[in-house]
Structure 1
Amino acid sequence: MVPVLVLYLVCIGAAALAYLQRWRRFKAMDLPPGSLGLPLLGETLQFIRYTKSNRPWEFIEQREAKYGKIFKTSLFGSPMVMVSPPQGNKLVFSNHNLLVETAWPSPMKTLVGSNAINFMSGEEAKSFRDVLMTFLSAQAVQSQVVPTSNMIQDHLHKHWKHGETVLAYSLIKQALFSVTCCAFLSVSDEEEQLELLEPLAKIIKGLISLPLDLPWTNFHHAKKGRVELYKMFDKYIARRRIELENGSSCQQDLLSLLLSTKLDNGKLMNDDQIKDNILSLLFAGHDTSSSSLAMTLKCLAQNPACYQELRREHMDILSAKQPGEELNQNDLRKMKYTWMVIQETLRVMPTGFGILRKALKDVEMDGFTIPKGWQLLISGYRSYRKPEFFAEPFKFEPSRFAEGTGPVPYTYIPFGGGPRICPGIQLAKMQVMVFLHHLVTRYEWTLVEPDEPVSYTPVAMPTKGLPIKLK
């Protein structure tokens, strides 16, 4: 017993000594100003409070007013520095695997899984990305336009009725999840899709939370949701693997791709890699698109002239088609104003709060040193709300994204930047454009709750479900 106690005390002493040595090193550096908050917790509780409020940018603006353009904080157990655009954003995006690597809050790695491409680096990440891009490239997405269009039309016919008040956010999530389930897993049964959506919703709710595995916490419910979802994935993987081996599968979906494509090392993905990456893409491909589409509906209702301009574009596309003719890739290329509307929505109401990177070595920035191992936090709120980057920043003005114009480089970052830019841009763009086409050629709408708050858990979400009146 005594030797064990001695060993325990030695370990505690060694950990304390290492901690003191680390902080002596930090004190010798010219760290950015700011506060690291409470031990372990840092400023996480304040951050969560702001992201769940209707004013998430205040977390940044209050600290920027106090400390300046670059400041330190601590979130989810990690010390980090908020960098400033455009120079800070450029430095981070231009030096992936040189000065920085991808980083995520600790709850995300636990819940999404360490095998997801989000957490890979170097050659492994490149190999996985090459595989995924055979499914997510602009050319590959073209083949999904018609089935996506048909599913959205069926959904609108079934669930959106003129004269009714509907909770738009939940219906959008349901529609885009159906599209994503078909594209990723070839699951078309609505009840089966809802069975998948329930545990996924638990996981998403726990992504930005304190990683406390206690029965009443969102993190605990999210871990249980992950177990439930992976049991369903196991069934799909086992069944599809047998079909592929027998040559009886004709599915050209993401699951078949992941099961049959070899990585650069010549090996097939194992089940854990497949499940983690499907979960990661389900979240990225469905939840973020649902958020951006819901926020677009909100912005269009608040800006009737923009709605009318958008509707003119889509009615022109519709009037040029033959009766029964399907929407196609050429039609999407004509949706120039639509893309401007989506881009402006992502500026006014960003889908996510920010992007994290981890310093691979000591990084010099704006006259300060960011120590190796610290995280760098980039947020669109640092530029989207500032007139030096966007004229009249609080005005919804899609034409600011017209061809031949555009923002200052490294100030508009809804999809990230550099080699780790979001691989699903084309898929998300297609889904949102197709949905808007069928919606605006059928309806206009008004907000039942014009002042409805928006929270980030972890993506922008209308707290009351975005009730709208259709007409």
Structure 2
Amino acid sequence: QGRIRAEWDRKVQKKKMELNFLWQIVAVLLGGYAFVFWFLKKVNEWYYVGRLGKTEFPLPPGDMGWPFLGNMLSLFKCLRTGDPNHYIHHLISRYGKTGIYKTHIFGRPSIILCRPELNRRVLTNEETFGLGYPKSVFLLTGEKSLHNVMVAEHRRLRKLITSPLNGQEAIAMYIKHIEKNVIQFLDEWASMKKPIELVEELKKATFKITTFVFLGYIKESTFRATDTLFTDYRRGLMAPAINIPGFTFHKALKARNKLLKIIRSVLEEKKAMAKSNEPEGKKYMIDLLIDVEDEDGKHLDDEHIADLILTSLSAGFDGLSMGSLWGLMHLAGNPQVFKKATEEQEEIVSRRPSTQKGLILAEIKQMHYLAKVVDEMLRMTNTLALFRKAKIDVSINGYTIPKGWNVLAWNGAIHMDPTIYENPKNFDPSRWENMSVKQPGAFMPFGAGTRLCPGNELAKLVMTIFLHYFLLNYKMERINPESPLYYEQAPLPLDNGLVRFTKTT
């Protein structure tokens, strides 16, 4: 019995030793994993922050993320939910509401700003902050575009193109064309027997409208080719700048070259008509850009015009289609707002003389409540951020923004800040009845300073005309009103905005 007991004790002891050894291995593995995790999370911090040396003020709070990837995985996770502001909420919960944070996204060390006064300061100070968009944007927009030219040249170009884009005479001239196409598309959607994907339909509609405004009439086959090429071009703007066959950027670069060829052919045709003294007929954006000259009598060259038209089409495409989408969605989902906006449109039309056919600019200027609807839509349709880059070391709010770092003015977070806008998730156009209470910089959907979007009035005109005719003559029913969202330049419904249109008059 003693021998059996001793044998049992020996086996138990051996088992304990084996378990202890196993636990030691587990502890070493866990410790090693923790060390590797800690080390990798510190690499970007050491590389980007450590090499700055001593700065007058500390860098903002934040986290530089993983080597190479930075914090893009966290950002992508937020984009999949349709709300990039979740990323800002994470920073606030972790580091407090400082309104300024350091991070590493889009392949660059970056500073995120999400306070009105800070964003406005950066966006209006072009001497200290230049553009900081990804490399793919600079390469695809062209050397002569507004994105890439130096400050003095940008001011000259902006002065020249403001009138063709936003001038009252130009805006009034575009109304009839926009109106005709809006009515055509709304009628077409209402005549369909099955639900439509509003996201795709609005892309087609706004692209056709803007293409005609910029270039005038082009052959249907050319238009279809342009539409396809433009889709490829747009996809490359935020893609890695890898110019190798098979990559998105390479395909976008090829699309850009083909698009420029189309635009130049239209340019040559327009100039040939002018030389032969043929009657020009109605002028379009391209005509106005050909005619415009500075105080020295200098005209824009063809490369300037082609790059300006391509980048203006690109900038307007997403803004117009997404703005119109959410304008329609919010009106359809808010009966009281729909009723009040409709009553305003009916009253304006009732005062119209019997000889007048269609909208005129004076009527659009009377649409005060609808203008508030558009502003509220712009507030809630959050863009990701406006990209800038610090030209020198800058001190803001007791923190240093290092030279060469990207600066992201995250206006979307400001537009949804409950300390600035009461119940920010509610669609409430009446909040704009007292604009005096809003802080400077609290509402900048088109940017600010000299880089303010030069086509902002044209964009609002298209959206206003879409909403005007929708309110008067149509109803829209969402098939999946609770559809989840995802983010692509703006929040989009996962079902692609599946709706059914009906004509009411």
After TM superposition, the score normalised by the length of structure 1 is 0.88
1:175-186 aligned within 5 A: 175-186=205-216
Query: Paired residue for 1:225?
Result: 255
Q: Tell me which residue corresponds to 1:370.
A: 401
State how far apart, in whole Å, the 2-side matches of 1:374 and 1:399 are: 39
Q: Secondary structure at the match of 1:28?
A: coil
Question: Is 1:28 equivalent to 2:28 in the alignment?
Answer: no
Cα distance in 1 for partners of 2:417, 2:389 equals 26
1:144 corresponding residue in structure 2: 174
- Over 3 Å counting, the alpha-carbon distance change for 1:221 and 1:21 in structure 2 is closer
In structure 2, the CA distance between the partners of 1:39 and 1:257, relative to structure 1 (3 Å rule), is farther
Alignment match, 2:28: none
Q: Say if 1:404 and 1:355 are closer, same or farther in 2 by CA, change over 3 A.
A: closer
- 2:83 match: secondary structure: coil
1:440 to 471, 483, 492: 471
The match for 2:17 is none
Mapping of residues 373-452 of structure 1, within 5 Å: 373-402=404-433, 405=436, 407-452=438-483
Question: Given the alignment of the two structures, is residue 253 of structure 1 paired with residue 284 of structure 2, yes or no?
Answer: yes
Q: Residue type matched to 2:72 in 1?
A: T
Q: Which amino acid aligns with 1:28?
A: K
- Structure 1 counterpart of 2:66, which letter? L
Cα distance, 1:422 vs structure 2: 1.4
- Helix, strand or coil at the partner of 2:256: helix
Map residues 12-411 of structure 1 onto 2, 5 A cutoff. Answer: 25-29=51-55, 30-68=58-96, 69=98, 70-97=100-127, 99-139=128-168, 140-161=170-191, 164-187=194-217, 189-248=219-278, 250=280, 251-263=282-294, 267-322=298-353, 325-350=357-382, 352-402=383-433, 405=436, 407-411=438-442
Counterpart CA distance in 2 for 1:294 and 1:129 is: 29
Judged with a 3 Å threshold, the aligned counterparts in structure 2 of structure 1 residues 79 and 244 are, in CA distance, closer, same or farther, namely: farther
The 2-side partners of 1:365 and 1:241 are apart by 50
Where 1:451 maps in the other structure, the secondary structure is coil
Do 2:326 and 2:381's aligned partners in 1 also have CA atoms closer than 8 Å? yes
Secondary structure of 2:191's aligned partner: coil
Assess if the C-alpha contact under 8 Å between 2:243 and 2:249 holds in 1.
yes
Higher mean C-alpha deviation, range 275-284 or range 147-156: 147-156
**1:58 corresponds to which letter in structure 2?**
H
Question: In the alignment, residue 385 of structure 2 is paired with which amino acid?
Answer: G
Distance (Å, rounded) in 2 between the aligned partners of 1:362 and 1:376: 12
Once residues 25 and 103 of structure 1 are traced to their aligned partners in structure 2, the CA distance between those partners, rounded to angstroms, is: 21
Aligned-pair distance for 1:164? 4.5
Structure 1 window deviating more from structure 2 (387-396 vs 322-331): it is 322-331
Deviation string, structure 1 residues 159-183 (Cα, Å, up to 9, x no partner): 4327642222222222222221221
**Paired residues of 1:205 and 1:457 also in contact (CA < 8 A):** no
Separation in 1, partners of 2:296, 2:391: 25
1:104-162 deviations in whole A, cap 9, x for unaligned?
22221122223211233321001110111121224121222222212222332334327
Deviations 1:223-262 (A, max 9, x none): 2322222222232222223223333361522222333434
Aligned equivalent of 1:5: none
Further displaced range: 141-150 or 447-456: 447-456
Contact 1:173 1:290 in 2 (8 A): yes
The structural deviation recorded for 1:270 is 3.4
TM-aligned CA distance change 1:189 to 1:335, over 3 Å? farther
Measure, in 1, the Cα distance between the counterparts of 2:175 and 2:268: 29
Runs of at least 4 residues off by over 6 Å: none
Partners of 2:59 and 2:495 in 1: CA distance: 42
Distance 2:144 2:74 in 1: 30
Output the amino acid matched with 2:117. Q
Q: Give the alignment's TM-score, normalised by structure 2.
A: 0.83
Give the Cα separation in 1 of the matches to 2:233 and 2:494: 18
User: What is the percentage of aligned positions where both structures have the same residue?
Assistant: 26
Preserved contact between residue 119 and residue 411 of structure 2 (Cα < 8 Å): no
Query: Helix, strand or coil for the counterpart of 1:286?
Result: helix
Contact in 2 for aligned 1:163/1:470 (Cα 8 Å): no
Residues 326, 79 of structure 1: CA spacing in aligned structure 2 closer, same or farther, 3 A cutoff? same
* Contact 1:101/1:121 (8 A) holds in 2: no
Would you say the 8 A contact 2:126–2:151 is kept in 1?
no
CA distance in 1 between partners of 2:137 and 2:91 (Å): 25
CA–CA separation in structure 2 for the residues paired with 1:188 and 1:403: 45
> Which amino acid in structure 1 is aligned with residue 373 of structure 2?
V
Q: In the TM superposition, what is the alpha-carbon distance from 1:401 to its structure 2 partner? A: 0.8
Partner of 2:257, secondary structure, is helix
Once the two structures are superposed, what CA deviation does each residue of 1:236-293 show, in whole Å capped at 9, x if it has no partner? 2222232233333615222223334345676443333222211110012232111111
Q: Does the aligned pair in 2 maintain the 1:36–1:42 contact within 8 Å? A: yes
Corresponding letter in the other structure for 2:451: R
Task: Check 1:138–1:238 CA distance in 2 against 1; reply closer, same or farther (3 A cut).
Answer: closer
How well do the aligned residues superpose, as a CA RMSD in angstroms? Answer: 2.5
Q: Quick one: structure 1 residues 119 and 456, their matched pair in 2 at CA, closer, same or farther if it must change by over 3 Å?
A: farther
Check whether the contact 1:452–1:463 (CA below 8 A) recurs between aligned residues. yes
Unpaired stretches in structure 2, ≥5 consecutive residues:
1-45
Q: Which amino acid aligns with 1:334?
A: Q
> What is the CA-CA distance between 1:44 and the residue it aligns to?
3.2
C-alpha change, 1:263 and 1:23, in structure 2 (3 Å) is farther
Q: 1:456 to 1:230 in 2, by over 3 A?
A: farther
Counterpart of 1:308, as a letter, is K
Deviates more, 1:37-46 or 1:179-188: 37-46
Unmatched 5+ stretches in structure 1: 1-19
Tell me the amino acid that sits aligned with residue 270 of structure 2. R
Superposed CA deviations along residues 206-231 of structure 1, whole A, max 9, x for unmatched, are 22223333444332332232222222
SS at match of 2:88: helix
Shift of residue 467 of structure 1?
Answer: 1.4
Q: Tell me, in whole angstroms, the C-alpha distance in 1 between the residues paired with 2:394 and 2:350.
A: 56
**Separation in 1, partners of 2:302, 2:142:** 12
Aligned residues: 451
